[in-house]
Structure 1
Amino acid sequence: MRRWRMRWWLPPLVLVALFGWGIWSVGGRLTAATNAAVPPLPAPAQVVRIASDPGITLAASYWPAPPKAPAVLLLHGNGGNRDNLTPLATWLSAQGYGVLAIDFRGHGASTPAIKSFGLTESADAHAALAWLKARHPGSATAAIGISLGGAAALLGPRGPLPVDALVLEGVYPDIRHAIYNRVASVGGKGMAAVIEPLLSVQALPRYGVWPSAISPVTAARQVRVPVLVVGGGADVFTPPAETRALFDALHRNGELTFLPGASHGMIVAANDTDPLRARIGAFLERYLRRKA
């Protein structure tokens, strides 16, 4: 009888173990480094290297400007790299800004490392901003962060970046919503309700924090500088309601705009269009040029 009971329980235990291994493997794929070659850029852009956390070196592109000119830090999205923001950087440089675009750890030509959706990448954002401020001492600075980049501008033990203005595009409210929405877009709400907690809780063994620590909407409450929040009108990964919640957490200090019909993936490309550039240009003019 005892052997029969053990045999009866064995198949379910094997299934549970296989399911757990599968979920852990999915988390591993989602957090794996996606380093890639970045095409060389013509002058005046310069390739630079910036030290971040111990063992982490960032690759970056810098478009120089006079030391007293205002400066803008560009932070790319998950799975991308600084090359995605080259058109925006070139345009900003032509407007007279010093511009720095980085590859986060685990991206582009930076040190390979696991991704944390903005948590550890926040150290990269702070290191890059310090480098940029050293070349523009006393000048007004801004950061433009897209999705992961926007989360990195807010998260981490050091808090939001100490800039004079922020542009946040397609930034998720917290890691649980981010995972839920992405799973639901593929497998529906039922699957998302089951899978999301199992993926979210992996923050504890992978990063040493509970999922609640990966919450841009919570970190946003510390921000006191003007912010331009940009959302996609058709973004199912970060729906408009969640973008509005982020704006509300920012004490409604700044501006909120939606790109009609834009999905999450279309937000990067929107930076190369006249309407969004005009909005960003006017925002930076208002909060950086006037301070200069």
Structure 2
Amino acid sequence: MRYKLGVDLGGTHIGAGLVDANGNLLKKLYVPTPENRDFDETVKAIIKAVERLLEEYGANISCCDSIGIGSPGVAEEETGKIVFSTNFQWYDQPLGERLKEHFNIHVHVGNDADVAGWAEYLMGAGKGSKSCVTITLGTGVGGGLVLNGRLFSGGMLGGAELGHVTLIAGGARCTCGKEGCAEAYCSASALIRQAEEGLLQGRKSVLKSGLEAKDVVDAARAGDEFASELFANYVENLAHLLSSIINLLAPEIIALGGGVSKAGDFLLEPLRKRVAELVLNKSLPHAKIVCAQMGNDAGIIGAALLEGTN
């Protein structure tokens, strides 16, 4: 049997997985990302993770056709180079080349949000569609776009950054340094920040400092006035982002992943209603808004299946 290897490079952990020709994840494991995020140390950690994975499964590298890597930041597809990654403070690092030198097989490198979106399109909520936009509502807002069956990251490097489109001009400062980015309003971190700010201002609520996004959702579901206000504002901002995506791209599916998406229908029902009010062409069918299905495996599977994305 032939296999493909997928690696999901995260800030705290590196996930490695073995995938068959049909995209089924046969085995996975996780190792810590080096704390200093040094490039050479991280390459060594990836190599060790892949070698351990193969040993535990009882396979060897000669049985594998390729390795795919999903990395934060901007990757150059042709060379496998990480052009820059703010998460890791890497600039022009030859990740693909280093792994190809060691394993002597094809290596494909892509942005982590892109590869997760590719997995969702192939195996998850977007399966059977021609176009799917996957949006991760976590620490930040990540986007993976598949249009007409092709993974889309722009005609030049660094496109499809849905979290950094301007949602509110002159609005809250984003971690990227800009003001008013979607990430500053639609991430789990944004929901937490707004809750903490309100509590400092003396808003009455069952919420307490040190909360998580789930706490806001649970309190809103239980009828807490402040949490309900926060969540309604969150839905409003997310609806504006999604309606803009629909007006621009008209995808068949929008799949929401990340921590906030675990609210399920409590999020989806008001979101779908508000998006329907905001889209330009109200007489036409528009994107089906659903929860993503691939969960934490999306990065590994999408990376493994990167070959042939274009």
Is TM-score (shorter-chain normalized) higher than 0.5?
no
Considering fraction of residues, name the structure with more helix: 1
Structure with more contact order per residue of length (Cα contacts < 8 Å, sep ≥ 6): 2
TM-score by length of 1: 0.32
Considering fraction of residues, name the structure with more strand: 2
